[in-house]
Amino acid sequence: MKRFSKLTAVAALCATIPAFAQEVKTYPAPGEIIAAASAREWVSIAPADLLVMDLAPDTAGKPRRVVIQLMTAPFSQGWVGNIRKLAAAKWWDGTAIVRVQDNYVTQWGDPTEKKALPDGLAVVPESDYSVSKKQPTGGWTAKTMKSTAPKQKGEYGLSQPLWGWPIGQDASHIWPTHCYGMVGVGRNLSPDTGTGAELYTVIGHAPRHLDRNIALVGRIIEGMEHMSSLPRGTGALGFYEKDEERVPILSVRLGHEAQDVAAFEYLSTESASFAAYADARANRRDPFFISPAGGADICNIPVPVRRKLSK
């Protein structure tokens, strides 16, 4: 931990040692595997699948942009559809971050809880928290579950990165999991499932007990630090108690309707490099490590996402 920058340089160096130097067999670190992945292993994220949230600038006047990748079929498409309508209606403009609870969530929406919602939002059933493996919705079926990463079995059952997302599963269903940076839909008591107008992101250890109990609709792929480093709220559950504590939300737009939006891509969870990356996350053998764990939970194998490299 002390001088990771130097370590990275050492590891990069070691990875280039020629194969005939058998005595010093070394292994690349996960970051090196990502950096070495070929261009065709990366998948472009459509601008229309981005949600771009501009917060008020920080105290130094620096802009704060948060980019969310919306969840793709077959997951949570009812709520995602609502979110598209809310963004088109500019509903979030003038709302705020209302709650920051340490080791849990940062939540945003209308502090007054009185702002009228746009017409036409769907009421989504609890059954949509997960997807049947047998139900071929959104073009996906069990046959397309071709992740190169092995399934891991843990305290929360089976999991595997699939189609670019962290996914839990049992014999009959699959569902997205509550990892760091994932975005979910606030709701009241069941059977309410929330509209999507009130959203949160995970800023601590994965609260996996929320899986299949709340809808997940995406993940933050850039600007997460603007959400995770906010002062914690001092009210119950981390709600801010005073108006001036809330960071205002200037605007939320879909990626193809926002200004100056970068292009993003993720490392395919069906690629050979992803397999090597997942294995390296589970079995760290780069020079810093002496005891590989032999496994990794789904939230410790985050799907790599980056700005598209200019060519």
* Distance separating alpha carbons of residues 100 and 234, to the nearest angstrom: 9
Q: Which residue has the tokens 């995406």?
A: 218
In angstroms, the CA 231 to CA 222 distance is: 19
In the bound state with a copy of itself, the residue whose beta carbon lies nearer, of 68 and 254, is: 68
CB 298 to a copy of itself: min, Å: 8
Sign of the Cα torsion 13, 15, 17, 23 reads: positive
Count other Cβ atoms within 10 Å, centred on residue 121: 19
Count how many residues are written for the chain: 311
- Report the nearest approach of a copy of itself to the CB of residue 159 (Å): 8
The span from the CA of 113 to the CA of 125, in Å, is 22
In the beta sheet, which residues pair with residue 179? none
How far is the C-alpha of 57 from the C-alpha of 184, rounded, in Å? 24
Minimum distance from residue 102 beta carbon to a copy of itself (Å): 5
Minimum distance from CB of 227 to a copy of itself (Å)? 10
Pairing state of beta strands 199-202 and 105-109?
Answer: antiparallel
Q: Name the residue nearer to a copy of itself (CB basis): 228 or 257.
A: 228
Indicate the residue type of 188: N
Decide whether 41 or 91 has the Cβ nearer to a copy of itself: 91
**Cβ nearer to a copy of itself, comparing 139 with 243:** 243
Phi and psi torsions of 173, nearest 5° = -135, 160
Nearer to a copy of itself, 63 or 295 (CB): 295
- Sign of the CA dihedral running 155, 153, 214, 125: negative
Residue 41 C-beta: closest distance to a copy of itself, Å: 23
Kindly state the smallest distance separating residue 5's Cβ from a copy of itself, in Å. 4
Give the list of residues 6+ apart from residue 276 with CB closer than 8 angstroms, or none. Answer: 28, 33
Residue with Cβ nearer a copy of itself (13 or 46): 13
- Taking the complex as a whole, the smallest distance from the CB of residue 48 to a copy of itself amounts, in Å, to 26
Residue 160 sits at φ, ψ, to 5 deg, of -165, 135
> Which residue, 82 or 254, has its beta carbon nearer to a copy of itself?
82
Using CA atoms, how far apart are residues 283 and 256, in angstroms rounded to an integer?
Answer: 39
Give the helix/strand (H/E) hosting 131: strand 131-132
Count the helix, strand and coil residues of the chain and give each as a percent rounded to the nearest 5. 25, 25, 50
Give min distance, CB of 191 to a copy of itself, in A.
8
